Amino acid sequence: MPARHAMRVQGVAAALLLSLLAACATRPPVVAPSPTAPEPSVTAPPPGG
């Protein structure tokens, strides 16, 4: 793998990570687990019935 390609891939990954962190920091998380609220998977009925 050429070094330039590796650097570009690393740069793109870093940019995506930074954008994700920025998005999480600027808006309140929607799916953040609350310490008092039960897990949705626990309260939901099993898929079998």
Q: pLDDT value at position 23?
A: 79
**What pLDDT sits at residue 20?**
83
Please tell me the distance from the alpha carbon of residue 25 to that of residue 19, in angstroms, as a whole number: 10
Look up the pTM and report it: 0.42
Confidence (pLDDT) at 36: 66
Q: What pLDDT score was predicted for residue 42? A: 54
Q: What is the pLDDT of residue 7?
A: 85
| pLDDT tens-digit map of 1-48 | 577 878 888 889 899 888 888 877 777 656 666 566 555 555 566 677
Question: What is the rounded distance in angstroms from the CA atom of residue 15 to the CA atom of residue 31?
Answer: 23
